[in-house]
Chain A
């Protein structure tokens, strides 16, 4: 009977596991903490990029400083309490602006609002850009979606988003590649439900915009 067997079979494994766990978790945590700020910065830039994209304003990708600069120059955040009618008071509590007033290319004013709706798998959150009279879309950008990769998730592809520029509601869906009139939108082949979800959000956003921006213009 070896003396060491109690130590080896009972205590050592536990001790070993604890040490290894502590070492590895520390290393992981260290890396996490050192990148935390960067992650937060990325997320705030992500939001800003969405607003610029929806407004149709160009910006250099991958250059946070410049994006920040363009954002500050062209976008004005409008809080819920200032302007807009009382309906938008619901937003007042969460610190997020009710809408964004944007300087479009020719110096005219446009607006961007965020809206969300049910997608197939989860919420779809998108930014919609509007012309001054809130009748025409300047563009859209998706901020959050959990749709099926390769199918529903294709709503984030450039061709799908670009088609919204200059379009006017109320929208109808047509077969992919055949959209012509200002109220027609290409659906995504094989992603009927997601396409319908986006259609619904797009048709409802005009009302949302009126509510949030209407009074304060």
Chain B
């Protein structure tokens, strides 16, 4: 726990100024490929928010209540990934049983999320920055929402791009990266918004 973070400020920082994707480069793989379609972006985005918020809490518990007392912190990489994978697996199973509709909308994205570096990244940042349980949750939730915003914005822009003439070599990944760069630039402008300091 540290004195630096006022929960609401942390929340907004996680979404805007320290956006997990635009400022911390995490979650690019799926971001680049899925942002082609708005519909799938929404599905993936929501799934990411849910998984990020949940796993940051779970991993906090595992790290501070199990790994540290046993002096096994160096195994956190393996343990976090297992927790994430198991959680995703569990959620997928539950959704499949409970709701066909929800499964059709979200369920298929879940396996994709397991290797999304942003999810693991959130847990690792939590450890490095020594967040409390509440802070981890807020950070996870905020980061998820931030990622969601980024992918939605990108999907929207790419829709418009379909009518633009793009230099041959930039098609696909190239132009997407440039737009990501511009979005990152724009998000940096949010810095002045926050009340602290």
Give residues in A with beta carbon < 8 Å to B.
25, 28, 32, 118-123, 146, 148, 190, 192-193, 196-197, 200
Contacts and interface: CB of A to CB of B under 8 A. Distances in A.
- Interface pairs A-B: 4 shortest CB-CB: A118-B4, A193-B197, A196-B197, A122-B129
Given A122-B5, A190-B188, A200-B197, 4 more contacts: A32-B74, A120-B4, A121-B5, A146-B128
A3 to B, nearest CB: 30
B19 to A, nearest CB: 11
Nearest to B192: A192
B196 interface: yes
Given A28-B74, A193-B191, A196-B197, A122 B23 contact: no
B22 to A, nearest CB: 12
Contact of A118 (B3, B75, B129, B130): B3
Interface in B1-60: 2-5, 13, 18, 23
A176 to B, nearest CB: 16
Nearest to A39: B74
23 contacts: A25-B75, A25-B78, A28-B74, A28-B75, A32-B74, A118-B3, A118-B4, A120-B4, A120-B196, A121-B4, A121-B5, A121-B18, A121-B129, A122-B2, A122-B4, A122-B5, A122-B130, A123-B3, A123-B4, A148-B18, A148-B23, A193-B194, A196-B197
Interface of B: 2-5, 13, 18, 23, 74-75, 78, 128-130, 188, 191-192, 194, 196-197
Contacts of A200: 197
Contacts of B4: 118-123
A3 B153 CA distance: 56
A148 B194 CA distance: 16
A118 B2 CA distance: 8
Nearest to B128: A146
B197 A146 contact: no
A51 to B, nearest CB: 23
A190 B78 CA distance: 36
Contacts of A123: 2-4
Nearest to A195: B197
A119 B23 CA distance: 17
A184 to B, nearest CB: 19
A123 B1 CA distance: 9
B197 A197 contact: yes
Nearest to A118: B4
